[in-house]
Amino acid sequence: MPYVERGMSVGLFGGSFNPPHRGHELVAEIALRRLGLDQLWWMVTPGNPLKNRTDLASLEERVELSRQLAPGPKVKVTAFEAAHNLHYTAKTLDFVKARNPGIHFVWIMGADNLKHFHLWQDWRGIAETFPIAVIDRPGSTLAYLSSKMAKTYAHARIDEEDAAVLPFLPAPAWTFIHGPRSSLSSSAIRSERAGI
């Protein structure tokens, strides 16, 4: 895991990044700025248990491409989940929390993940471990209104104008952050490369 000092606010941005693209970079930039983070951990996962792994590039390749794309020194690209055999977000967050006392973490995810978030292993545990910042993605702006997560934790939602305090709030707490959006997607890039 990247080095941190007590009191820092750190965003956790996980994904398979297969491949990473400008949309991911934009999410990282928005999260850093709007949440006032000291660091953002760009966590390249071994693979998403809910996705097909047949076209998954090697972890080394995805890490290297992510490092090339990462926007600035506050972004720390890491693949510690593979080294510790962590395959589910809930387990990763428990692991991070246990080893980093005194750090203010926020889970960062694109709004496109809200629709299926309730299918993630122990999704309620995720929501109750760290605050969550949901960053707008094309076609997903209204997802926060209809998703099971948004409805279940409607009482814990804060206004996006108060996003800078999110890292310091106890979970459950979350916000939806609007901003510039990129229409790029990893699956579309893979399809284009395959000539589909």
pLDDT in tens, 183-192: 545 454 445 5
Q: At which residue do the structure tokens 């998403």 appear?
A: 48
Report residue 52 as tokens.
């097909």
Closest CA to 121 of 49, 53, 174: 49
Instruction: Please tell me the distance from the alpha carbon of residue 64 to that of residue 60, in angstroms, as a whole number.
Output: 6
> What amino acid occupies position 86?
L
Q: pLDDT band for position 99 (50/70/90)?
A: very high
Instruction: Please tell me the distance from the alpha carbon of residue 142 to that of residue 157, in angstroms, as a whole number.
Output: 15
Answer whether 38's CB lies under 8 Å from 3's CB. Answer: no
pLDDT in tens, 154-166: 999 999 999 999 9
Q: pLDDT band for position 29 (50/70/90)?
A: very high
| Model confidence at 136: pLDDT above 80 | yes
pLDDT in tens, 112-122: 888 889 999 99
**Residue 98 neighbours by CB under 8 Å, 6+ apart:** none
pLDDT of residue 185: 52
Instruction: Please tell me the distance from the alpha carbon of residue 38 to that of residue 104, in angstroms, as a whole number.
Output: 10
Q: Which is it for the CA torsion 77, 80, 86, 91, positive or negative?
A: negative
> What amino acid occupies position 131?
P
**Residue 119 neighbours by CB under 8 Å, 6+ apart:** 50
Report residue 139 as tokens.
């076609």
